[in-house]
Chain A
């Protein structure tokens, strides 16, 4: 009898523990559901009184108008200038960060001696761990006055704003180097050694093996890392807020001040915007746009990994 009760108590305890652990795992699902619900509240449907953002502003105005002025008396809600700023900064970041990250990954995976690799990796990890607010300070106080101004203004005669998209894009590019490097290196190292050896056996040089054998074999992983890095650049906030400024204009001139979606969101939350006003609700609409963009990139990245991954055994 006692044995039987002990047995059920044990079973019960085991099941309770498993249930609790499952609850922990479900927190992540709850977070996602929460994010989606919160983004939709205030932008698509309204919880309190008053209309939601997209009930007042039509989608055609939101995505069609080229004027963004939520805080003026004459309000305009065309998200294109913010999108333009975001794409400009993320584009500069991708152009500068992705090639460097990939080349560094190739070096660490194909060329570097194990000892060199072990020494260098911690430095890259430190680079990855530097807070974005520090990168913003670096862009504003060093990149613009000591790199961009002397070159573009002094040498070439362009006008460089104190806040500009180029400095922000460059530091975001630096920021994504460790990420691209680490993920691409994983992809390169997953390519089996037999492939390399087969290349050498056919008389290929190191360059031939790296570029024509290993790189194509790891391409899906590298492209997936690119997509993740661009997604991160799109969502990057503090460096862009500090270095790129707060002027929502449609321009592709990287030396001018722009406003990204994230910078606008920070700007609204720094001011005294009353909850329930249309400016406050625009925060959710812009947030939703940003969330959809990064989610699409992330899903694309995962799909690419699955679709094109070469499985070596």
Chain B
């Protein structure tokens, strides 16, 4: 099964038109009972969603304010705690994740849909994709921890490289301002490690959604373009890809919103809990102007993200932190709702207007 839970194909089988009102009148009692049970299951799901949203929002009242959005964390004073470090951290991590995941994901989908023939390699790739989508996120965390954060213990003062060759490599581009390498090796617990890990995590989602979008484009479009003398790539670049952008966008947005809420892999990477700074110390645009090298430093700086801050607040023993956590959750959910809404909007808009 290649369908992600979030992505629902609108082009399913036709809904049975028969309302069965007359059948209902003649029907037996179990029929009513069963229908009621099924209806209850749907309403239960919706009720849970509403209860969850209301409960969390109620806890956040009085704690979610401008100060919360614009200040850094505080371990001692819940009243002063803020989510700014998480917001900026999430922005950096997700920005880089998009940069890696979208080109690779869409590229892979194009290969699988437009180029791949039915040979063993391509069958393996497809089978593998379905399995990757089912790997628990925490396993990706271990992958990221070993490959990106520690780099198998290859670099660094006591690394394998040093022991074998006597040559110590700790990073590139020494920065006087930060008194650190701008790009350290191994990466360590930095934004880049998190972004690469999350990119691998959402890659199956992006690929599968993009494949579906490409598949929805009728063959006649390709044939027309090819018949006019366009090459395969020109056909894809100028005809197929533009036509499938809405579908791809929907998949990408759903993948991104999954990455934003993902906590476990980043906890495994060792993203820090109480963080009192933004990546690269870039709190505002004037900082960027003063220290442009911070833009290179930021992807290789330690970080936190919103869900990790929430997790950290939940773990605190002080009672007030649970309200801080609720405020954080409301901010996170608001961002996710906007993204999800956007995805649904794009899908509905284009599924209505495009008829091949």
Report whether A120 and B46 are in contact in the complex, using a CB–CB cutoff of 8 Å: yes
Beta-carbon contact of B310 and A290 below 8 Å = no
A39-B45 CB under 8 A given contacts A25-B111, A242-B311, A262-B136 = no
Q: Is B77 an interface residue (CB 8 A)?
A: no
In the assembled complex, the Cα of A29 lies from the Cα of B268 at a distance in Å of 22
| CB of B115, distance to nearest CB on chain A (Å) | 6
Number of A-B contacts (CB under 8 A): 328
* Shortest beta-carbon distance from B337 to chain A in Å: 7
The answer on a CB contact under 8 Å between A182 and B307 is no
B contact residues, range? 35 or more
List the B side residues contacting A125 at CB < 8 Å.
6, 8, 340, 344
> Which of B107, B129, B147, B314 is close to A137, meaning CB atoms less than 8 Å apart?
B314
Instruction: Tell me the count of chain A residues lying within 8 A, CB to CB, of chain B.
Output: 117
Q: Which of A20, A21, A228 has the most CB of B within 10 A?
A: A21
Report yes or no: B125 in contact with A29, Cβ–Cβ below 8 A: yes
Q: Is A103 in the interface zone, CB < 8 Å from B?
A: yes
For residue A66, CB closer than 8 A to chain B, the reply is no
A137-B326, A205-B26 given; A48·B112 CB < 8 A: no
Secondary structure call for the B interface: helix
Q: Judge whether B207 and A123 touch: CB under 8 Å.
A: no
B108 touches A205 (CB 8 A): no
Q: How far is the CA of A17 from the CA of B114 in the complex (A)?
A: 12
Q: Is B12 an interface residue (CB 8 A)?
A: yes
- Name which residue of chain B comes closest to A176, CB basis: B5
Partner of B135 from A35, A127, A128 at Cβ < 8 Å: A35
Q: A47 within 8 Å of B by Cβ?
A: yes
B30 touches A39 (CB 8 A): no
Determine whether B212 belongs to the interface, using a CB cutoff of 8 Å to chain A.
Answer: no
Is B344's CB under 8 angstroms from A122's CB?
yes
Are the CB atoms of A207 and B107 closer together than 8 Å? no
The reply on B104 being an interface residue by CB < 8 A is: yes
Identity of the chain B residue whose Cβ is nearest the Cβ of A207 in the assembled complex: B31
Indicate if B329 sits at the interface (CB-CB under 8 A).
Answer: yes
Pick from A48, A109, A138, A266: contact of B138, CB under 8 Å? A266
The segment from A75-83, A151-159, A250-258, A295-303 that touches chain B is: A295-303
A104→B41 contact, CB < 8 A: yes
In the bound complex, residues from chain A placing their C-beta under 8 Å from that of B49 are 123, 126-127, 130
Chain A residues with CB under 8 A of B296: none
With both chains docked as a complex, state the minimum distance between the C-beta of A27 and any C-beta of chain B, in angstroms: 5
B20 contact set on A, CB distance < 8 A: 200, 205-206
Q: Are B115 and A38 in contact (CB under 8 A)?
A: no
Query: Measured between alpha carbons, how far is A210 from B38 in the docked complex, in Å?
Result: 11
Contact string against B for A residues 18-56, beta-carbon threshold 8 Å, 1 for contact and 0 otherwise: 101111111111011011001101100001100000000
Name B3's contact: one of A133, A136, A174, A183 (CB within 8 Å): A183
11 contacts between A and B (CB under 8 A): A14-B233, A101-B41, A103-B41, A122-B340, A133-B310, A134-B52, A137-B56, A231-B134, A236-B136, A265-B268, A299-B131
Residues of A within 8 A of B (CB): 10, 13-14, 17-18, 20-29, 31-32, 34-35, 38-39, 41-42, 47-48, 99-104, 106-114, 117, 120-138, 140-142, 174, 177-179, 181-183, 185-186, 189-193, 196, 200, 205-208, 210-211, 221, 224-225, 228, 231-232, 234-238, 241-242, 262, 265-266, 269-270, 275, 283-284, 287, 290-291, 294-295, 297-299, 301-302, 305
